Amino acid sequence: MRDRIVCFGDVIDDVVVVPEGPIRDDTDTPSEIRYRPGGSPANTAAWLGALGARVDFVGVVGAGDAARHAAAMPGVAAHLREHPDLPTGTIVVIVAGQSRSMLTSRGANSALDPAEVTDELLTEASVLHLTGHALLNDAGLGDLLARATAAGVAVSVSPGSAGFIADYGLPEFRRAIAGASILFPSLDEGRLLTGLDDPAAVSAALAEEFDTVVLTMGAAGVMVNGETVQAVTVDIVDPTGAGDAFCAGFLAEWAHSRDALAAARAGVTVAARAVQSIGARPAP
């Protein structure tokens, strides 16, 4: 059975800011500030590497940054193209308890090319994982999903955020991800995609379009095709990347067992590890 996982999409330099108190206008606010590698699919790839999965990551960085970002993904076969003009994408993440605000510059990620996920990579793959933000580079994305499906590769999609879906356009988003087999929406994203409120109703509606629906509900756990898996309760230091880590735990198990409930249990365990340190990747 093929078990390699290919992740495609954004790689980011995160500037994570954890203020000691409310941000004060026009003066200093003491804060803990850390520079961390990020980008949702890159985070998932890094967690997969840490879990011992066989994983490739395909993305774009600024000139001179490929070696640095490859080194930040131990265990991952990183296929990073350097853009001659655009810098590596950057996000300032301001953490307030369990909430985050993100100031985003996509940089070189705006030059992502789905054709760089080659047929050779898909030949060995079990899963192709991407996030909604890849739709911002939608030229060729439909062809990539078609090539993956033709190669017998499951396509998993983490939508990104409800705000992103709304900005992109709900009908356009649904058309763009049609054909994916695994969907990882948050409850807010699921409600937006279906127009429904109750988690079970949201999950059931999405299950009419996707083989496996993994609805993440924060502290309320995860609903997998209508069945709930409880979250692991830990002290949260930084929620950044918890969803990316969950996807990694899920996909690493699913690639071997094809058991969605077992995969969700693995996912919540990895997500709990992720929130106990600053940044979206495995702690150094």
In order of their start, the domains of the chain are 4-9+38-86+109-274 (3.40.1190.20)
**Catalytic residue list contains 85:** no
- β-pairing, 182-183 vs 222-224, is unpaired
Three-state helix/strand/coil letters over 96-135: ECCEEEEEEECHHHHHCCHHHCCHHHHHCEEEEEEEHHHH
Amino acid at 24: R
Closest residue by Cα to residue 109 from 121, 128, 91, 122: 91
- Tell me if 102 sits within 8 A of 240, measured CB to CB: no
DSSP 137: G
- Catalytic: which of 13, 113, 244, 259? 244
Q: How far is CA 101 from CA 18, 97, 107, in A?
A: 11, 11, 19
- Tell me if 137 sits within 8 A of 113, measured CB to CB: yes
From the CA atom positions of the chain, what is the Rg in Å? 18
Closest residue by Cα to residue 225 from 266, 196, 182: 182
Which residues, at least 6 apart from 172, have a Cβ–Cβ distance to it below 8 Å?
none
CA dihedral sign of residues 48, 52, 53, 56: positive
pLDDT tens, position by position, for the chain (284 residues)?
688 999 999 999 999 898 999 999 999 999 999 899 999 999 999 999 999 999 999 999 999 999 999 999 999 999 999 999 999 999 998 988 777 788 989 999 999 999 999 999 999 999 999 998 888 766 788 899 999 999 999 999 999 888 889 988 999 998 889 889 999 999 999 999 999 999 999 999 999 999 999 999 988 999 998 899 998 988 888 787 899 999 999 999 999 999 999 999 999 999 999 988 888 889 77
Q: How far is CA 262 from CA 46, 251, 272, in A?
A: 21, 10, 16
- Tell me if 134 sits within 8 A of 158, measured CB to CB: no
H or E stretch covering 33: strand 31-38
The set of long-range contacts for 144-150, using a CB threshold of 8 Å and a minimum separation of 24, is 144/8, 144/114, 144/115, 144/117, 145/179, 145/180, 146/179, 147/119, 147/122, 148/117, 148/122, 149/179
Strand segments (E) across 84-221: 89-96, 99-105, 125-131, 154-158, 182-183, 212-216
pLDDT of residue 202: 96
> CA 66, 68, 69, 73: dihedral to nearest 10 degrees?
130
pLDDT of residue 235: 87
